[in-house]
Amino acid sequence: MNKLIIKGTSAGDRVITLTEGRSILGKGAQSDIVIDDKLLSRRHCAIDVAGDDVTLIDLSSTNGTWVDNNRIMDPIRLNPDTVVRLGEYVFIHPAGEQHSEAGPEAPESDQKKRPKKRDKKREASKNKRSVPLSESDKIQQLKQDIQRKILEFLDIRRRGALDQMTADEIRVEARAAAEQLIDQGDINLPPEIDRDALLTSVVSEAIGLGAIEPLLEDETVSEVMVNGPDQIYVERNGRVELSDSRFSSAAALMNVIDRIVTPVGRRIDEGTPLIDARLADGSRVNAIIPPLALTGPTITIRKFAKERLSGEDLVGFGSLTAGMLEFLETCVRFRKNIVVSGGTGSGKTTMLNVLSDFIPETERIVTIEDSAELQLQQDHIVSLESRPANVEGTGEIQIRDLVRNSLRMRPDRIVVGECRGGEALDMLQAMNTGHDGSLTTGHANSPRDMLSRLEVMVMMSGMELPSRAIREQISSAVDIIIQITRLSDGRRLVTDVHEVGHLEGDVISLQRIFTYNKTGIDGDGNVTGFHNGAGYAPTFYQELRDAGHEMDREIFRDVEAGGNTG
């Protein structure tokens, strides 16, 4: 007789007798075997029984059907003791009939009557034995059991006193509940399992951020990338590596996502399957769930830097030279409009923070961002942040709206965290109408590409402007482009500094001021090279000299400046 053991239900293990033919499993009322789990599809998978052969078929489910931790795409034959995961439940197809005492038979309401031949026999097991799961699966199943009992013990979602408790108090009480469950014998821990480490992980997953909590506390980690419950990558020192952390189930990961987005008044579900949010410490979060994320719920976290880097820090890291930093300080102090260009994660915001250090304390600064990351140190700052639409689709405030509004706020400087669209036109107009010294960033792989990107972004504003008029706006507004690149070894460097010139024909002229010259790769895989001047002093340097300012032109000499930074 073919049976299926369902582990993870609140009532304990549950046994279902499989009949000849096909049975549909899912959360929908029309399924033959109804499983109450929000992570399951209405018709999630099918089980075909033909004699002793049992075949599992995924029915294009949202969160997938997993066999031995691998998502199945094709029908697969279930061998004895195969482990199947659907949502937060584990299914076991036991060998022979020795598992029939694993739990109560599923009631008739759970497995609906169908006009099929059914075997009514119920044979008792002679020998009990545990389900042979892998060690990691045992631990994950144990975590799920403890979490469920903690929540039942505390009734954590319905307690009125919870609103008056701090997060730390809730965590302490949950830990005490877990300890009590173990001490009373409600949970049996195998002797080889580290009790303290397991409870810390379980409590964190039950009421905190789960497996990513220790990664967020690790100061060497700059980004956390969760690709489903079983795969968590981190970035350390510019390099991406797979961590040992994992979630106990897709449901646990979904609960963590809910705990992230709920405090900011957002929700994530199949109707709104992707969202941007921010943690309490300022870290940026992007979450995307099925049906868009095929591998399961996915989170990407850009950690908010606790220690703000200075220009001297960047010089010490070899990201630029002291002469280059001196030049950039001159550009900011004398109100040159600067665009920082680079790829994702190249360090554009860090450079923007460094440049902002050179803005005088006497000036009024308005910062505009999608997600607050800038850490300006001046006193006279107005920080603005865009707002996405609410669940009704209203109330959206875009970056462009804030840029236009900032012009009525009497700013001396406008700092836009990143230009991505039509706000580029308003930013260029601000630069051209008396708001010199403004700063922004953009995604591009070179200074020339950045000019093209600005042109495209202006077109995204919806204004029907000729290409030449757009280029004239860009050439007259932008003075300096700083290119930042993340190298193959993970280091982030200023690789080019260009002055933006006038329009020559239909092309905006660019003049290189500083560059980074690669010389090779050493035995450890690190890129070697050096920064040097291009032998060109920008045009405004002569204007400053004529105005009586002492300007050091030696920093532009076409010689190796600052030595090898490899």
pLDDT band at 88 (very low <50, low <70, confident <90, very high): confident
Lowest model confidence (mean pLDDT) among 63-77, 105-119, 155-169, 474-488: 105-119
pLDDT band at 154 (very low <50, low <70, confident <90, very high): low
Question: Between the ranges 98-102, 154-158, 186-190, where is the mean pLDDT highest?
Answer: 186-190
Whether the per-residue pLDDT at 562 is higher than 50: the answer is no
The predicted-structure confidence for 497-511, as pLDDT tens digits, reads as follows 999 999 998 999 999
5 contacts 92 by C-beta, under 8 angstroms: yes
Look up the CATH number of the domain holding residue 70.
2.60.200.20
478 contacts 462 by C-beta, under 8 angstroms: no
Span 263-277, mean pLDDT?
A: 81
Inside any domain, residue 525 = yes
Whether the per-residue pLDDT at 80 is higher than 90: the answer is no
Domain identity same for 273 and 418: no
Angstrom CA distances, 39 to 7, 58, 289, 291, 296, stand at 16, 14, 10, 11, 10
Q: Which two tokens stand for residue 231?
A: 């795969």
The vertex-242 CA angle with 236 and 247, nearest 5°, equals 115
Domain identity same for 270 and 161: yes
Domain identity same for 157 and 95: no
- Greatest alpha-carbon pair distance for the chain in Å reads 102
Domain identity same for 441 and 468: yes
150: nearest Cα among 190, 115, 120, 187: 187
pLDDT band at 530 (very low <50, low <70, confident <90, very high): very high
Q: How many domains, the chain?
A: 3
Domain boundary among 302, 331, 354: 302
Domain identity same for 174 and 196: yes
pLDDT at residue 449, rounded to an integer: 96
Question: Between the ranges 95-99, 147-151, 289-293, 499-503, where is the mean pLDDT highest?
Answer: 499-503
Tell me what percent of the residues of the chain surpass a pLDDT of 70: 84
3 contacts 82 by C-beta, under 8 angstroms: no
Look up the CATH number of the domain holding residue 255.
3.30.450.90
Whose structure tokens read 């008044």? 265
pTM of the model: 0.66
Q: β-strands 76-77, 82-86: how paired? A: unpaired
pLDDT at residue 565, rounded to an integer: 47
Domain that holds residue 26: 3-114
pLDDT at residue 12, rounded to an integer: 63
Domain identity same for 549 and 429: yes
pLDDT at residue 11, rounded to an integer: 53
Within its chain, how far is the Cα of 91 from the centroid?
31
Looking at residue 308, its amino acid is R
Angstrom CA distances, 112 to 9, 10, 49, 492, stand at 19, 21, 16, 61
- Higher pLDDT residue, 79 or 119? 79
Domain identity same for 159 and 275: yes
Inside any domain, residue 346 = yes
Whether the per-residue pLDDT at 469 is higher than 90: the answer is yes
- Higher pLDDT residue, 304 or 149? 304
Inside any domain, residue 131 = no
Inside any domain, residue 501 = yes
Inside any domain, residue 388 = yes
247: nearest Cα among 230, 261, 259, 234: 230
The predicted-structure confidence for 329-359, as pLDDT tens digits, reads as follows 999 999 999 999 999 888 899 999 999 999 9
What is the residue-averaged pLDDT of the chain?
81
Helix axes 167-183, 135-154, angle to 10 degrees: 110
Domain boundary among 114, 145, 176: 114
Span 436-442, mean pLDDT?
A: 94
Domain identity same for 266 and 316: no
Question: Between the ranges 135-149, 152-166, 183-197, 208-222, where is the mean pLDDT highest?
Answer: 208-222
- Higher pLDDT residue, 129 or 485? 485
pLDDT at residue 93, rounded to an integer: 67
Inside any domain, residue 123 = no
Whether the per-residue pLDDT at 564 is higher than 70: the answer is no
Whether the per-residue pLDDT at 471 is higher than 50: the answer is yes
pLDDT at residue 133, rounded to an integer: 36
317: nearest Cα among 238, 221, 222, 224: 238
Span 62-90, mean pLDDT?
A: 81
pLDDT at residue 151, rounded to an integer: 66
Question: 66-75: long-range contacts at Cβ-Cβ below 8 A with a sequence spacing of 24 or more?
Answer: 69/137, 69/230, 71/295, 75/48
The predicted-structure confidence for 370-380, as pLDDT tens digits, reads as follows 877 888 889 99
Span 266-295, mean pLDDT?
A: 86
Domain boundary among 114, 149, 182: 114
The predicted-structure confidence for 220-250, as pLDDT tens digits, reads as follows 898 999 999 889 999 988 888 999 888 877 8
The vertex-338 CA angle with 370 and 506, nearest 5°, equals 105
Q: Which two tokens stand for residue 338?
A: 């600067």
pLDDT at residue 121, rounded to an integer: 34
Look up the CATH number of the domain holding residue 507.
3.40.50.300
Domain identity same for 328 and 395: yes
pLDDT band at 368 (very low <50, low <70, confident <90, very high): very high
Domain identity same for 290 and 347: no
pLDDT band at 81 (very low <50, low <70, confident <90, very high): confident
Strand stretches in 269-324, DSSP E: 274-278, 284-288, 298-302
Domain identity same for 294 and 398: no
Within its chain, how far is the Cα of 163 from the centroid?
28
Inside any domain, residue 549 = yes
Domain identity same for 352 and 377: yes
Whether the per-residue pLDDT at 438 is higher than 60: the answer is yes
Provide φ and ψ at 251, rounded to 5°: -65, -40
Whether the per-residue pLDDT at 216 is higher than 70: the answer is yes
Question: Between the ranges 158-162, 262-266, 502-506, where is the mean pLDDT highest?
Answer: 502-506
Span 440-468, mean pLDDT?
A: 93
Inside any domain, residue 165 = yes
Lowest model confidence (mean pLDDT) among 86-100, 228-242, 311-325, 467-481: 86-100
pLDDT band at 459 (very low <50, low <70, confident <90, very high): very high
Span 202-217, mean pLDDT?
A: 80
The predicted-structure confidence for 393-435, as pLDDT tens digits, reads as follows 788 899 999 999 999 999 999 999 999 999 999 999 999 888 8
